Amino acid sequence: MTKLLNGNQLAKEIRKEISKEIEKKILSKNKRIPHLGIILTGTNNSSITYVNSKIKECKNIGIQSTLVKLPIDSTEEKLLEEIKKMNTNPLIDGFIVQLPLEKHIDQDQIILSINPKKDVDGFHPENFGKMALDMKTFFPATALGILTLLERSKIKISGKHTVVIGRSRIVGKPISILMSRKSYPGNSTVTLTHSNTLNIEYYTKQADIIIVAVGITGFLKGNMIKNGAIIIDVGINKNGKNILGDVDFRSVYGKASYLTPVPGGVGPMTRVMLLKNTLMAALTNRKHPTL
Ligand code: NAD
Protein backbone atom coordinates (compact mmCIF):
# COMPACT_ATOMS: atom_id res chain seq x y z
CA MET A 1 0.00 0.00 0.00
CA THR A 2 1.26 3.44 -0.88
CA LYS A 3 0.31 6.31 1.39
CA LEU A 4 -0.02 9.69 -0.32
CA LEU A 5 1.53 12.58 1.59
CA ASN A 6 -1.06 15.34 1.56
CA GLY A 7 0.81 18.64 1.26
CA ASN A 8 -2.41 20.64 0.96
CA GLN A 9 -3.69 19.42 4.32
CA LEU A 10 -0.38 19.95 6.11
CA ALA A 11 0.13 23.39 4.56
CA LYS A 12 -3.32 24.35 5.86
CA GLU A 13 -2.35 23.29 9.39
CA ILE A 14 0.93 25.19 9.19
CA ARG A 15 -0.87 28.31 7.92
CA LYS A 16 -3.06 28.21 11.02
CA GLU A 17 0.01 27.84 13.22
CA ILE A 18 1.68 30.82 11.53
CA SER A 19 -1.49 32.92 11.97
CA LYS A 20 -1.57 32.05 15.68
CA GLU A 21 2.09 32.94 16.04
CA ILE A 22 1.56 36.29 14.29
CA GLU A 23 -1.29 37.00 16.69
CA LYS A 24 0.62 35.94 19.80
CA LYS A 25 4.07 37.30 19.10
CA ILE A 26 3.28 40.38 17.00
CA LEU A 27 -0.29 41.68 16.95
CA SER A 28 -1.02 41.16 20.65
CA LYS A 29 2.07 43.29 21.34
CA ASN A 30 0.76 46.05 19.10
CA LYS A 31 3.50 45.56 16.55
CA ARG A 32 2.87 45.90 12.84
CA ILE A 33 2.05 42.84 10.76
CA PRO A 34 4.91 41.08 8.92
CA HIS A 35 5.65 42.57 5.52
CA LEU A 36 7.03 40.71 2.49
CA GLY A 37 8.50 42.53 -0.50
CA ILE A 38 8.46 40.93 -3.96
CA ILE A 39 10.38 42.15 -6.98
CA LEU A 40 9.16 40.79 -10.31
CA THR A 41 10.92 41.52 -13.58
CA GLY A 42 9.66 40.73 -17.02
CA THR A 43 6.64 38.90 -18.38
CA ASN A 44 7.38 35.22 -17.77
CA ASN A 45 3.93 33.64 -17.32
CA SER A 46 5.04 31.10 -14.70
CA SER A 47 6.75 33.83 -12.66
CA ILE A 48 3.60 35.98 -12.76
CA THR A 49 1.49 33.00 -11.63
CA TYR A 50 3.92 32.19 -8.78
CA VAL A 51 4.04 35.81 -7.64
CA ASN A 52 0.24 36.14 -7.69
CA SER A 53 -0.10 33.00 -5.61
CA LYS A 54 2.50 34.29 -3.13
CA ILE A 55 0.57 37.55 -2.76
CA LYS A 56 -2.68 35.64 -2.25
CA GLU A 57 -1.08 33.37 0.37
CA CYS A 58 0.16 36.45 2.24
CA LYS A 59 -3.28 38.06 2.15
CA ASN A 60 -5.05 34.94 3.41
CA ILE A 61 -2.80 34.67 6.41
CA GLY A 62 -2.52 38.33 7.36
CA ILE A 63 0.94 39.13 6.02
CA GLN A 64 1.34 42.40 4.16
CA SER A 65 2.97 42.22 0.75
CA THR A 66 4.36 44.85 -1.60
CA LEU A 67 4.99 44.01 -5.24
CA VAL A 68 7.49 45.98 -7.31
CA LYS A 69 7.10 45.19 -11.01
CA LEU A 70 9.88 46.05 -13.41
CA PRO A 71 9.58 46.00 -17.20
CA ILE A 72 11.30 43.23 -19.18
CA ASP A 73 14.04 45.58 -20.47
CA SER A 74 14.97 46.98 -17.05
CA THR A 75 18.71 47.21 -16.56
CA GLU A 76 20.65 45.38 -13.87
CA GLU A 77 21.33 48.80 -12.27
CA LYS A 78 17.60 49.48 -11.99
CA LEU A 79 17.02 46.10 -10.32
CA LEU A 80 19.95 46.72 -7.94
CA GLU A 81 18.41 50.09 -7.08
CA GLU A 82 15.08 48.45 -6.15
CA ILE A 83 16.92 45.82 -4.09
CA LYS A 84 18.74 48.60 -2.24
CA LYS A 85 15.41 50.21 -1.39
CA MET A 86 14.08 46.92 -0.01
CA ASN A 87 17.34 46.31 1.89
CA THR A 88 17.11 49.65 3.65
CA ASN A 89 13.35 50.02 4.12
CA PRO A 90 12.72 49.27 7.82
CA LEU A 91 9.07 48.49 7.04
CA ILE A 92 10.01 45.52 4.82
CA ASP A 93 10.86 42.48 6.96
CA GLY A 94 12.03 40.25 4.13
CA PHE A 95 11.85 40.14 0.35
CA ILE A 96 12.40 38.00 -2.70
CA VAL A 97 13.45 38.63 -6.27
CA GLN A 98 11.39 36.24 -8.37
CA LEU A 99 13.62 33.98 -10.47
CA PRO A 100 14.49 33.32 -13.25
CA LEU A 101 15.77 36.71 -14.39
CA GLU A 102 16.16 37.96 -17.94
CA LYS A 103 19.38 36.84 -19.65
CA HIS A 104 20.96 40.32 -19.62
CA ILE A 105 20.91 40.34 -15.79
CA ASP A 106 23.63 38.65 -13.75
CA GLN A 107 21.66 36.48 -11.33
CA ASP A 108 24.65 35.92 -9.02
CA GLN A 109 25.16 39.69 -8.61
CA ILE A 110 21.49 40.10 -7.80
CA ILE A 111 21.48 37.37 -5.15
CA LEU A 112 24.69 38.75 -3.64
CA SER A 113 23.15 42.22 -3.34
CA ILE A 114 20.24 41.06 -1.14
CA ASN A 115 20.68 41.76 2.56
CA PRO A 116 21.09 38.21 3.98
CA LYS A 117 18.92 39.17 6.97
CA LYS A 118 16.03 39.87 4.59
CA ASP A 119 16.74 36.98 2.22
CA VAL A 120 13.60 34.96 2.91
CA ASP A 121 14.30 32.76 -0.14
CA GLY A 122 17.53 31.62 1.55
CA PHE A 123 19.54 31.87 -1.69
CA HIS A 124 22.27 34.29 -0.52
CA PRO A 125 25.63 32.51 -0.11
CA GLU A 126 25.77 33.64 3.54
CA ASN A 127 22.52 31.84 4.27
CA PHE A 128 23.43 28.87 2.08
CA GLY A 129 26.74 28.59 3.93
CA LYS A 130 25.04 28.79 7.31
CA MET A 131 22.65 26.07 6.20
CA ALA A 132 25.60 23.85 5.24
CA LEU A 133 27.29 24.54 8.57
CA ASP A 134 24.27 23.46 10.65
CA MET A 135 23.48 27.03 11.74
CA LYS A 136 20.08 28.66 12.10
CA THR A 137 19.12 30.70 9.04
CA PHE A 138 16.54 30.98 6.24
CA PHE A 139 16.28 27.71 4.28
CA PRO A 140 15.06 27.70 0.65
CA ALA A 141 11.30 27.16 0.72
CA THR A 142 11.00 23.95 -1.33
CA ALA A 143 13.74 22.17 0.62
CA LEU A 144 12.28 23.31 3.95
CA GLY A 145 8.83 22.25 2.75
CA ILE A 146 10.04 18.73 1.91
CA LEU A 147 11.86 18.39 5.24
CA THR A 148 8.78 19.56 7.13
CA LEU A 149 6.51 17.22 5.16
CA LEU A 150 8.72 14.26 6.11
CA GLU A 151 9.03 15.36 9.73
CA ARG A 152 5.35 16.03 10.28
CA SER A 153 4.41 12.76 8.55
CA LYS A 154 6.63 11.08 11.18
CA ILE A 155 8.89 9.57 8.55
CA LYS A 156 12.24 8.73 10.09
CA ILE A 157 15.11 10.02 7.97
CA SER A 158 18.03 9.61 10.36
CA GLY A 159 20.29 6.78 9.17
CA LYS A 160 18.27 6.31 5.99
CA HIS A 161 19.84 6.47 2.54
CA THR A 162 18.44 9.40 0.56
CA VAL A 163 19.04 9.79 -3.16
CA VAL A 164 18.40 13.29 -4.50
CA ILE A 165 18.01 13.58 -8.28
CA GLY A 166 18.85 17.08 -9.54
CA ARG A 167 21.37 19.56 -8.13
CA SER A 168 19.73 22.95 -8.75
CA ARG A 169 20.38 25.77 -6.31
CA ILE A 170 16.72 26.07 -5.47
CA VAL A 171 15.88 22.41 -4.82
CA GLY A 172 18.45 19.64 -5.28
CA LYS A 173 21.46 21.19 -3.55
CA PRO A 174 19.63 22.65 -0.54
CA ILE A 175 17.57 19.51 0.12
CA SER A 176 20.69 17.33 -0.06
CA ILE A 177 22.31 19.60 2.53
CA LEU A 178 19.28 19.68 4.82
CA MET A 179 18.78 15.91 4.72
CA SER A 180 22.40 15.34 5.72
CA ARG A 181 22.65 18.05 8.39
CA LYS A 182 23.81 17.01 11.83
CA SER A 183 20.49 17.94 13.38
CA TYR A 184 16.89 16.86 13.71
CA PRO A 185 15.44 16.32 11.16
CA GLY A 186 18.56 15.30 9.24
CA ASN A 187 21.30 12.74 9.69
CA SER A 188 20.40 10.96 6.48
CA THR A 189 23.14 9.51 4.26
CA VAL A 190 22.76 11.44 1.02
CA THR A 191 23.73 10.65 -2.57
CA LEU A 192 23.31 13.63 -4.89
CA THR A 193 22.76 12.58 -8.51
CA HIS A 194 22.42 14.73 -11.63
CA SER A 195 22.53 14.78 -15.42
CA ASN A 196 26.10 13.44 -15.49
CA THR A 197 25.42 10.54 -13.15
CA LEU A 198 26.01 7.24 -14.92
CA ASN A 199 23.58 4.38 -14.37
CA ILE A 200 21.27 6.33 -12.05
CA GLU A 201 19.18 3.21 -11.32
CA TYR A 202 22.16 1.77 -9.47
CA TYR A 203 21.66 4.50 -6.86
CA THR A 204 17.87 4.82 -6.87
CA LYS A 205 17.38 1.05 -6.37
CA GLN A 206 19.32 1.26 -3.10
CA ALA A 207 17.53 4.34 -1.78
CA ASP A 208 15.19 4.41 1.22
CA ILE A 209 14.11 7.93 0.24
CA ILE A 210 14.22 9.44 -3.26
CA ILE A 211 13.71 13.16 -3.89
CA VAL A 212 13.25 13.91 -7.60
CA ALA A 213 13.70 17.43 -8.95
CA VAL A 214 14.66 17.18 -12.61
CA GLY A 215 11.78 18.79 -14.49
CA ILE A 216 11.19 15.74 -16.73
CA THR A 217 7.69 14.27 -16.70
CA GLY A 218 7.59 10.70 -15.36
CA PHE A 219 11.39 10.48 -15.01
CA LEU A 220 11.41 8.12 -12.00
CA LYS A 221 9.72 4.82 -12.83
CA GLY A 222 8.63 1.94 -10.64
CA ASN A 223 11.41 -0.33 -11.91
CA MET A 224 14.01 2.17 -10.63
CA ILE A 225 13.00 1.92 -6.95
CA LYS A 226 13.02 -0.72 -4.27
CA ASN A 227 9.82 -1.92 -2.56
CA GLY A 228 8.72 0.40 0.23
CA ALA A 229 10.84 3.39 -0.83
CA ILE A 230 9.65 6.87 0.13
CA ILE A 231 9.26 9.05 -2.95
CA ILE A 232 9.13 12.84 -2.96
CA ASP A 233 8.12 14.29 -6.33
CA VAL A 234 9.15 17.92 -6.72
CA GLY A 235 8.42 18.22 -10.45
CA ILE A 236 5.91 20.68 -11.83
CA ASN A 237 5.62 19.98 -15.55
CA LYS A 238 2.82 21.54 -17.53
CA ASN A 239 0.99 19.41 -20.06
CA GLY A 240 -1.83 21.54 -21.44
CA LYS A 241 -4.00 22.29 -18.44
CA ASN A 242 -2.54 19.39 -16.42
CA ILE A 243 0.39 19.52 -14.06
CA LEU A 244 2.50 16.39 -13.97
CA GLY A 245 5.35 15.40 -11.69
CA ASP A 246 8.81 13.94 -12.26
CA VAL A 247 7.56 10.58 -10.99
CA ASP A 248 5.70 8.09 -13.15
CA PHE A 249 2.77 7.84 -10.75
CA ARG A 250 1.27 4.72 -12.31
CA SER A 251 4.32 2.49 -11.91
CA VAL A 252 5.49 3.90 -8.57
CA TYR A 253 2.12 3.88 -6.82
CA GLY A 254 1.73 0.51 -5.12
CA LYS A 255 5.49 -0.08 -4.87
CA ALA A 256 6.49 2.94 -2.78
CA SER A 257 5.47 3.17 0.89
CA TYR A 258 4.91 6.94 0.69
CA LEU A 259 4.53 9.22 -2.32
CA THR A 260 3.80 12.91 -2.75
CA PRO A 261 1.08 13.62 -5.33
CA VAL A 262 1.45 16.29 -8.02
CA PRO A 263 -0.31 18.62 -7.58
CA GLY A 264 -0.99 18.74 -3.83
CA GLY A 265 2.31 17.43 -2.45
CA VAL A 266 5.46 19.57 -2.35
CA GLY A 267 3.94 22.65 -4.09
CA PRO A 268 1.69 23.83 -1.24
CA MET A 269 4.48 23.14 1.26
CA THR A 270 6.82 25.39 -0.73
CA ARG A 271 4.31 28.23 -0.70
CA VAL A 272 3.69 28.06 3.04
CA MET A 273 7.42 28.00 3.87
CA LEU A 274 7.88 31.45 2.34
CA LEU A 275 5.31 32.70 4.86
CA LYS A 276 7.19 30.93 7.65
CA ASN A 277 10.46 32.56 6.59
CA THR A 278 8.76 35.97 6.42
CA LEU A 279 7.47 35.54 9.97
CA MET A 280 10.96 34.49 11.07
CA ALA A 281 12.38 37.64 9.47
CA ALA A 282 9.79 39.81 11.24
CA LEU A 283 10.62 38.21 14.57
CA THR A 284 14.38 38.49 14.22
CA ASN A 285 15.03 41.66 12.22
CA ARG A 286 13.19 44.41 14.05
CA LYS A 287 15.59 46.39 16.14
CA HIS A 288 13.09 48.51 18.04
CA PRO A 289 10.68 46.48 20.23
CA THR A 290 7.59 48.42 19.11
CA LEU A 291 8.32 48.22 15.38
P1 NAD B 1 16.65 22.77 -12.88
O2 NAD B 1 16.34 22.67 -14.32
O3 NAD B 1 17.29 23.99 -12.34
O4 NAD B 1 17.53 21.52 -12.46
C5 NAD B 1 17.27 20.25 -12.92
C6 NAD B 1 18.30 19.30 -12.39
O7 NAD B 1 18.00 18.02 -12.89
C8 NAD B 1 19.73 19.65 -12.82
O9 NAD B 1 20.55 19.70 -11.68
C10 NAD B 1 20.14 18.48 -13.72
O11 NAD B 1 21.49 18.07 -13.48
C12 NAD B 1 19.18 17.38 -13.30
N13 NAD B 1 18.88 16.50 -14.43
C14 NAD B 1 18.43 16.85 -15.65
N15 NAD B 1 18.32 15.75 -16.43
C16 NAD B 1 18.69 14.70 -15.67
C17 NAD B 1 18.82 13.30 -15.90
N18 NAD B 1 18.50 12.77 -17.08
N19 NAD B 1 19.22 12.52 -14.87
C20 NAD B 1 19.54 13.05 -13.68
N21 NAD B 1 19.46 14.37 -13.41
C22 NAD B 1 19.05 15.18 -14.39
O23 NAD B 1 15.26 22.45 -12.15
P24 NAD B 1 14.69 22.84 -10.70
O25 NAD B 1 14.53 24.29 -10.60
O26 NAD B 1 15.44 22.11 -9.64
O27 NAD B 1 13.23 22.18 -10.83
C28 NAD B 1 13.05 20.82 -11.04
C29 NAD B 1 11.57 20.54 -11.15
O30 NAD B 1 10.96 20.89 -9.92
C31 NAD B 1 10.83 21.38 -12.20
O32 NAD B 1 9.78 20.61 -12.73
C33 NAD B 1 10.30 22.55 -11.43
O34 NAD B 1 9.16 23.13 -12.02
C35 NAD B 1 9.95 21.88 -10.14
N36 NAD B 1 9.90 22.74 -8.94
C37 NAD B 1 8.88 22.52 -8.10
C38 NAD B 1 8.81 23.24 -6.93
C39 NAD B 1 7.68 22.95 -5.99
O40 NAD B 1 7.41 23.73 -5.13
N41 NAD B 1 7.03 21.80 -6.11
C42 NAD B 1 9.75 24.21 -6.63
C43 NAD B 1 10.81 24.41 -7.52
C44 NAD B 1 10.89 23.64 -8.67
Of 93, 118, 119, 121, which is the active-site residue?
A: 121
Please answer whether residues 136 and 111 qualify as being in contact, where contact means their C-beta atoms are separated by less than 8 angstroms: no
Report the top-level CATH class of 141-266: alpha beta
- Could you read off the pLDDT of 255-278 as tens digits, one per residue? 999 999 999 999 999 999 999 999
Stretch 80-89: mean pLDDT, rounded? 98
- 290 pLDDT more than 90: no
- The verdict on whether 24 is a catalytic residue reads no
- Could you read off the pLDDT of 200-222 as tens digits, one per residue? 999 999 999 999 999 999 999 99
Give the pocket of ligand 1 (CB within 6 Å).
142, 165-168, 170-172, 193-195, 197, 200, 213-216, 234-237, 266-267, 270
Q: According to the model, what pLDDT value does residue 120 have? A: 98
- The verdict on whether 248 is a catalytic residue reads no
Task: State in Å: Cα 78 to ligand 1 middle.
Answer: 30
List the one residue out of 238, 265, 268, 270 whose CA is nearest residue 252: 265
Q: According to the model, what pLDDT value does residue 286 have? A: 86
- The verdict on whether 54 is a catalytic residue reads yes
- Could you read off the pLDDT of 42-52 as tens digits, one per residue? 999 999 999 99
Of 98, 233, 246, 276, which is the active-site residue?
A: 98
- Could you read off the pLDDT of 116-172 as tens digits, one per residue? 999 999 999 999 999 999 999 999 999 999 999 999 999 999 999 999 999 999 999
pTM above 0.75, yes or no: yes
Please answer whether residues 51 and 38 qualify as being in contact, where contact means their C-beta atoms are separated by less than 8 angstroms: yes
Segments of the chain assigned to CATH 3.40.50.720:
141-266
Q: According to the model, what pLDDT value does residue 287 have? A: 72
Report the top-level CATH class of 30-115: alpha beta
- 104 pLDDT more than 90: yes
- 291 pLDDT more than 80: no
Segments of the chain assigned to CATH 3.40.50.10860:
30-115
Q: How far is it, in rounded angstroms, from Cα 20 to Cα 18?
A: 5
